[in-house]
A and B are shown apart, each in its own frame.
Chain A
Amino acid sequence: MSTIQTPIDMQQRLRVAKMFKLQWEEVQHSWVLLYPEGMVKLNGSAGEIMKRLDGTITVAELISALERDFATPDLSADVLDFLHIAQGQGWVKP
């Protein structure tokens, strides 16, 4: 992809892009992203991030929520790395 990437803004409210459908798949025990004739199986942390992106919380709030829910500090870099990839793939939109 040749998308010119802008850095993730901590105040942005991201959501799953319209072309993608995010859902939990019991058979695969994972969150998946479905799109025309394709599928991406998300790993555990990617799934935890994506399922929280409903367009209402900011990136900063997302990071706090994850740090609280998993009782783990300093998740900021990991989350931003993933969001950068997700944005580059077109999975998430502001």
Chain B
Amino acid sequence: MSVDAFSTTAPNLPGPPLWLLAEITYKCPLHCVFCYNPVDFAQAGPELSTDDWLRVLRQARAAGSVQCGFSGGEPLVRDDLEILVAEAHRLGFYTNLLTSGVGLTEARAAALEAAGLDHIQLSFQDSTKELNDFLTHTKTFDLKRHTAAVIKAHGWPMVMNCVIHRLNIDFIEQIIDLAVELGAEYLELANSQYYSWAELNRDHLLPSREQLERAERVTNEYRVRLGDKLKIFFVVPDYYETRPKKCMNGWGNVFLTVTPDGVALPCHTAKMLKGITFPNVRDMSVQDVWYQSDGFNRYRGDSWMKDPCRTCPDKEKDHGGCRCQAHMLTGDGANADPVCDKSPLHHRVTEAVDYAQVPDSQRTLVKPLVFRDPKNSKLLTTAS
């Protein structure tokens, strides 16, 4: 998102929550091993009702939100999706559907078009049927090809999203070819970020340096060849960086996520942070969530920072990286994101990177891949 005009320097005056991500359900027909939904999703409270979501949409729009993403889980699982899209459209949101494509029948596509849906982002796990079905633990690949055709037939711009990792990164040519074949306008080759299920499966998913360099080279060759025909975004895995990402373009700066059970978060994964109680849209207005709640104010500005961030000349540039990554890898969300080589715990990232250079054939004691499903979610939640 182009947000240059919105980065705020005054910590007490955040801009509006421009991006509303409505995660309307955790239900999903897929079981992706890199899913960013919380590992304990099976323990979430009851889903927000249609009326709850309509209220959230109206409040968010009044607070200045312009982009609305309907996500999940698989948002098409909810049969009131069309009602929500119609209201979002009426309110003046740009409406995005982030879907696996499962459930997008011709009838629902027609209803969504009538509701005013602006755009669909279709996720693919890989370009080859076998790997796609293995990684998502389903037989959905043919269905997705069909869905892509439905999307094009309705004239929506299509962003194809493919999460990239150790198991599919060597097929980058086939992935790009497929995006061209399906007529996508944009292709996001998003390297897996290691949160939630992807963190559990990190050793299986983190590519080697050689794999990554090859994929970037191939992508650049395609960019030259394809020109404007297909715009390709390549998101690198931050484990290979020495400076952290400016996560979510700043905490509580642009993004607002609402989970299926109504918890309002500054990013999709922030619920993992210990010691912060995030507000629920059942109890608090979006305006108050954004401007007043302790959860959203916690990491705004820089007064929460510790060394090395506190005295770092780059602190405005990256805000110390990702709070969730700091929490996961160092035990304290206020520490520097250990992706940064100034972090005293940077070795926790480099150890994972070192292991990623070990060929699969030379690895011992490899834990099995854990698929994201309610059964595993319950098991893992009980175990912890």
Contact = CB atoms under 8 A, between A and B. Distances in A.
Interface residues of B, number: 24
Contacts of B96: 36-37
A39 B64 contact: no
A34 B121 contact: no
B64 A28 contact: yes
Interface in A1-43: 1-3, 19, 21, 23, 25, 27-28, 32, 34-41
B1 A36 contact: no
Name, among A3, A34, A90, the residue most crowded by chain B CB atoms within 10 Å (CB to CB).
A34
Contact of B5 (A2, A23, A37, A41): A41
B159 A36 contact: yes
A34 B2 CA distance: 10
Contacts of B227: 2
B6 interface: yes
A25 B157 contact: no
B228 A36 contact: no
Interface string B1-27: 111011000000000101000000000
B94 A34 contact: yes
Given A21-B94, A27-B64, A38 B16 contact: no
B63 interface: yes
A27 B186 contact: no
B92 interface: yes
B185 interface: yes
Contact of B2 (A21, A25, A28, A38): A38
Interface in B86-138: 92, 94, 96, 118-119, 121
Given A27-B64, A41-B6, A35 B228 contact: no
Interface string A62-94: 000000000000000000000000000010000
Contacts of A21: 94, 118
Given A21-B94, A27-B64, A36 B186 contact: yes
A25 B118 contact: no
Contact of A19 (B16, B63, B92, B157): B157
Contacts of B119: 35-37
Contacts of A3: 228
Nearest to A34: B94
B119 to A, nearest CB: 4
A23 B94 CA distance: 10
Given A19-B157, A37-B67, A2 B118 contact: no
Given A3-B228, A25-B66, A34-B94, A19 B2 contact: no
Nearest to B231: A1
A20 B350 CA distance: 42
A37 B186 CA distance: 11
Nearest to A42: B5
Contacts of B18: 39
Given A36-B121, A37-B69, A41-B6, A1 B157 contact: no
Contacts of A41: 2, 5-6
Nearest to A38: B1
Contacts of B69: 37
Contacts of B16: 27-28
A37 B19 CA distance: 8
B185 A39 contact: no
A36 B118 contact: yes
Contacts of A32: 66
Interface in A47-68: none
A38 B18 CA distance: 10
Contacts of B157: 19, 35-36
13 contacts: A19-B185, A25-B64, A27-B63, A32-B66, A34-B66, A34-B67, A34-B94, A35-B157, A36-B96, A36-B185, A39-B3, A39-B18, A39-B67
Counting from the closest, the 7 A-B pairs by CB-CB distance are A27-B64, A34-B94, A36-B119, A41-B5, A38-B1, A2-B227, A19-B157
